[in-house]
Chain A
Amino acid sequence: MSSATPPPSVFDGIAGVIVVLVLLAEFGMLHATLLFLQLRLYAAQSFLLSVLAGVAAYAKHVPELYALAVLSCALKVFAVPATIRRLVGQPSQEIAGSGVLGVGTRTLLGLAVTAVGFFAAKAWHIHGTFLPSTALSLSVSVLLVSFVLMIVRRDVVSQAVGLFSLENAVSLASLVVAAAMPLLLEVAFLFDLLVAVVVFGVLIRTHQLRRRSFLTTDLTELRG
Chain B
Amino acid sequence: MNPTLPDPLIQIFQVGTVTLAGPGLSGFIARVEARLQGRRGPRILQPYYDIAKLFRKEALAPTDASGFFLMAPFVAFACYLTIPLLIPVLTSYGLPLGYMGDILGGGFLLALASFAIATAAAETGSPYAQLGSSRSKTFGAITEPVVLFVVFAVALLTGTDLPYALAATVRSGAGQIVRPAHLLAAAAFFLVILYETGRIPVETHNGTNEFGMIEEARSFEYSGPYLAILRWGSSMKQMIFYVLLINVFLAPWGLASNGSLVAVVLAVLALLGKAAVVGVGVAVIDNSFAKLRLFKITQLVAAAFLLAVLAVFTLYLGGG
**Which chain A residues in 102-142 approach chain B with CB under 8 Å?**
103-104, 107, 110-111, 114-115, 118-119, 122, 132-134, 137-138
Can you list 26 contacts pairing A with B, beta carbon distance less than 8 Å?
A: A1-B165, A4-B156, A4-B157, A4-B158, A4-B159, A4-B160, A5-B156, A5-B181, A10-B174, A13-B177, A13-B320, A16-B178, A16-B314, A17-B180, A24-B306, A107-B306, A111-B309, A111-B310, A114-B310, A114-B313, A115-B313, A122-B317, A132-B320, A134-B318, A137-B317, A138-B314
Question: Which residues of chain B from 143 to 160 have any CB-CB distance to chain A below 8 Å in the complex?
Answer: 156-160
Q: Which 3 residue pairs of A and B lie closest in terms of their CB atoms, listed nearest first?
A: A4-B159, A13-B178, A134-B318
B179's contact among A3, A16, A27, A118, by CB below 8 Å, is which?
A: A16
CB of A224 closer than 8 Å to a CB of B: no
- List B267-320 residues whose CB lies under 8 Å from chain A: 298-299, 302-303, 305-307, 309-310, 313-315, 317-320
Contact status B305-A20, CB under 8 Å: no
Residue pair B318, A138 in contact (C-beta under 8 Å): yes
Q: Are A118 and B159 in contact, with the CB atoms below 8 A?
A: no
Known: A7-B173, A9-B175, A23-B310. A17 touches B318 (CB 8 A): no
Chain A: which residue is nearest B318 at the CB level? A134
Whether B157 and A103, one on each chain, are in contact in the complex, defined by CB atoms closer than 8 angstroms, is: no
B residues sitting closer than 8 Å to A (CB atoms) are 156-160, 165, 169, 173-181, 183-184, 298-299, 302-303, 305-307, 309-310, 313-315, 317-320
CB neighbours (8 Å) of B184 from chain A are: 20
Contact B313 A2 (CB under 8 A): no
How distant is the Cα of A5 from the Cα of B154 in the complex, in angstroms? 10
Closest-by-CB residue of A relative to B311 is A20
Q: In the bound complex, how far is the Cα of B302 from the Cα of A27, in angstroms?
A: 11
Complex Cα distance A175/B169, Å? Answer: 31
A14 within 8 A of B: yes
Chain B residue with minimal CB distance to A2?
A: B159
In the complex, A27→B304 CA distance in Å?
12
- Could you say which residues of chain A place their CB within 8 Å of the CB of B303? 107
Which residues of chain A have C-beta atoms less than 8 A from B313's C-beta?
114-115, 118
Chain A residues with CB below 8 A from B314, complex form: 16, 20, 134, 138
**A182 at the A/B interface (Cβ < 8 Å)?**
no
**Known contacts A13-B180, A16-B314, A17-B178: A8-B319 contact under CB 8 Å:** yes
B313 to chain A, nearest CB (A): 6
In the bound complex, what is the Cα–Cα distance between A20 and B320 (angstroms)?
10
Contact present for A20 and B160 (CB under 8 Å): no
Is B320's CB under 8 angstroms from A8's CB? Answer: yes
Q: Beyond A10-B178, A134-B180, is A103–B318 a contact (Cβ under 8 Å)? A: no
Tell me whether A153 is interfacial, beta carbon within 8 Å.
no
Query: Which residues of A sit under 8 angstroms from B158, Cβ to Cβ?
Result: 1, 4
Interface of A is mostly: helix
A31 on the B face (CB < 8 A): yes
Q: How far is the CA of A107 from the CA of B309 in the complex (A)?
A: 11
Q: Tally A residues with Cβ within 8 Å of B.
A: 35
With A1-B165, A3-B159, A134-B180 known as contacts, the answer to whether A20 contacts B310 (CB < 8 A) is yes
With A103-B299, A134-B318, A134-B320 in contact, is A8–B169 under 8 Å at CB? no
Assess the A8–B175 pair: CB atoms within 8 A: yes
- 6 additional A-B pairs beyond A12-B320, A20-B180, beta carbons within 8 Å, are A1-B160, A16-B178, A20-B314, A103-B299, A104-B302, A114-B310
| Distance A137 CA – B307 CA, assembled complex (angstroms) | 16
- Is the pair B310, A8 in contact by a Cβ cutoff of 8 Å? no
CA gap between A31 and B177 in the complex, in Å: 29
Q: Which residue of A lies closest to B317 (CB)?
A: A118
Contacts A103-B302, A137-B318; is A10 near B175 (CB within 8 Å)? yes
Q: CA A216 – CA B225 in complex, angstroms? A: 60
In Å, the complex CA distance between A1 and B102 comes to 14
State whether A16 touches B320 (Cβ < 8 A): yes
Instruction: Report B-chain residues with C-beta under 8 Å of the C-beta of A16.
Output: 178-180, 314, 318, 320
Question: Given the interface contacts A103-B302, A111-B306, A134-B180, does A5 sit within 8 Å of B318 by beta carbon?
Answer: no
The answer for the CA separation of A177 and B175 in the assembled complex, in Å, is 23
Q: Report whether A5 and B315 are in contact in the complex, using a CB–CB cutoff of 8 Å.
A: yes
Contact A107 B305, CB 8 Å, known A10-B178, A114-B310: yes
Contacts of B315 in A (CB 8 A): 5
Q: Are A103 and B309 CB-contacts (below 8 A) given A7-B175, A17-B178, A119-B317? A: no
Which residues of A lie under 8 Å from residue B299 when comparing CB positions? 31, 103
A41-70 to B contact mask, C-beta < 8 Å, 1/0: 000000000000000000000000000000
CB distance from A109 to the nearest CB of B (A): 11
Say whether A14 contacts B178, CB under 8 Å.
Answer: yes
Chain B residues with CB under 8 A of A110: 306
Q: Contact check: which of B157, B160, B298, B305 meets A5 at CB < 8 Å?
A: B157
In angstroms, Cα B159 to Cα A138, docked, is: 24
Q: Which residues of B sit under 8 angstroms from A19, Cβ to Cβ?
A: 180
Beta-carbon contact of B179 and A7 below 8 Å = yes
